Amino acid sequence: MIRLYDYVLSASCYKIRLMAALLGVKLKHEAVDFHPGRAHKSVEFARLNPAGTLPVLVDGDLILTESTAMLVYLAQLLGRDWLAPSDPKSAAQVQHWLAFSGRLAASLGMARLHDMLLYEGNIDAWRAQGHAALRELEAALSERRFAGGVWLVGDAPSIADIACFPNVALSQDGGVSLDAYPSVRLWTRAVRALDRFVEMPGIHRLHELHPAPEVV
Amino acid sequence: MTPRWTATGLSQDLPKAVAMAGHWQGQDLAVWRSATGRLQAWNDRCPHRGMRLSHGFVRGETLACIYHGWVYGAEGGCKHIPAHPALTPPATIRVAVFACVEQDGVIWVAPADTLGAPTALRGLQPLRSISLTCDVAAVLLVEPALSGEDTLRGLVQIAGQACEVCLLVQHGASGLTLHALCAVGADRIAASRWLEDLRRRAERKGTA
């Protein structure tokens, strides 16, 4: 069974939990005391991942420590539809958004860690970089909408969408509002409307897609 | 005098059964569309605990608060309180309602007692809503083909072709928003890139 070293409040860990849920695969979760225990910085954890970051995915002798690589692995293994079309343009666009998701983590993700887990750093700079990234995402998604599209690459959701979704959907935890980004908001709704979508603290499902509890 | 009708979004960005944040002259609004398509704009504050109703969710013809699920129906009246299912909520639990219409693909809001309709925009199609960190003067400075105060209009060059554009100005607590329209039939991807470029040039010219 594929094991995921996991922390419930981590956007990057959620990325993998969401991908696994959408693919319909169960992972074995190994909870890591990221906060306040900082177990991911321990000597023991460094044997698994010298970089001391989460998540870590282990399948047999394969150890992956980058979340975008985990998305590629899970999709190649279990659901190649999620890789987007393999023509040169689409393949390059997927790589673009996988790399771009790193910029989201370095801006919106850090702003959230600052506000939620008291990370020290330049919060104004993180928020400004977050807005700059959201402007790029908004422009790209608006162009996709003009062409009749919904997703970042191709006609179906792909690992590109899943890579970018968590830190965008959690941006308000870091003091960055999505009010000024209508195409981004509609795209986050499209992700949340996917069959088998799972939540994390700060990202709720679309309640309107389910009956009101009292009339069940 | 500032016109009472203010553009607060584009119809294309508010599908059925979706709520979004809007505002009218500094007043935060929850703008939402019911399952059958009925558009409404309310004070963006749940009377219960003050949560923004624009974070809420639409079920049928009602808007529910995301915090404790209080349900509000037509004219802003509270219809249901999940923690007290047998209670008929008193009529005093009510959200303030604003006038809200859509015309030419633009969502307009005004105080409830506003008469008349917003100015018609003929021959134009909605493009995008964008926020800027500069003021209107900076926009006019970098694009002299545009003129106006609350509605900037003009014939600009987009991808080598003259194109009619219209930018509806909205001032909010977090800065300036422009709701952009362009000539019917114009290439919206090219127009969107022109708009991005206009924002970059205006923001470099000056901040508010």
CA nearest to B42, candidates B50, B51, B32 = B32
What is the predicted pLDDT for the residue at A210? 83
**What value does the mean pLDDT take over residues B166-171?**
97
Least CB–CB distance from B21: residue in A138, A179, A204? A179
Could you give the domains of chain A? 3-79 (3.40.30.10), 82-192 (1.20.1050.10)
Inter-chain touch A180–B131, beta carbons under 8 Å: yes
Residues 6 or more apart from B176 whose CB is under 8 A from it? B131, B132, B133, B134, B135, B136, B169, B170, B208
**Between residues 123 and 152 of chain B, which touch chain A (CB distance below 8 Å)?**
128-131
What is the predicted pLDDT for the residue at B174? 76
Q: Is the ipTM of this complex over 0.90?
A: yes
What is the predicted pLDDT for the residue at B48? 94
Distance from the B75 Cα atom to the nearest Cα atom in chain A, whole angstroms: 20
Q: What is the pLDDT of residues A119-133, one digit of tens each?
A: 999 999 999 999 999
- DSSP-derived secondary structure letter, A206: -
Is the CB of residue B200 less than 8 Å away from at least one CB of chain A? no
- DSSP-derived secondary structure letter, A213: G
What is the predicted pLDDT for the residue at B105? 97
Taken as a whole, chain B contains a residue count of: 208
Give me the average pLDDT of each 10-residue run along chain A (216 residues). 97 98 97 94 95 97 98 96 96 98 98 96 98 98 97 98 98 97 98 97 90 66
Q: Which residue has the tokens 């890591």?
A: A32
Q: Which residues of chain B neighbour A204 with C-beta distances below 8 Å?
A: 66
What is the predicted pLDDT for the residue at A22? 98
Q: Which residue has the tokens 């709704």?
A: A189
Interface test with B, best of A142, A173, A214 (most B CBs within 10 A): A142
Res B1 pLDDT > 50: no
Question: Cα(first)–Cα(last) distance of chain B, in Å?
Answer: 21
**CB of A152 closer than 8 Å to CB of A139:** no
Distance from the A147 Cα atom to the nearest Cα atom in chain B, whole angstroms: 8
Which residues in B132-171 are b (16+ Cβ under 10 Å) and which e?
bbbbbebbbebbeebeeebbbbbebebeeeebbbbbbbbb
Nearest Cα residue in chain B from A213: B82
Alpha-helix residue ranges (DSSP H) falling in chain A = 11-23, 43-48, 67-78, 88-104, 110-117, 123-146, 159-169, 182-192
What is the predicted pLDDT for the residue at A214? 65
Is the CB of residue B177 less than 8 Å away from at least one CB of chain A? yes
Q: What is the pLDDT of residues A188-215, one digit of tens each?
A: 999 999 999 999 999 999 988 888 776 5
Inter-chain touch B58–A204, beta carbons under 8 Å: no
CA nearest to B64, candidates B49, B79, B75 = B79
Nearest Cα residue in chain A from B23: A179
> What CA–CA distance (Å, rounded) separates B109 from B4?
8
Least CB–CB distance from A186: residue in B13, B131, B174? B13
Inter-chain touch B57–A206, beta carbons under 8 Å: yes
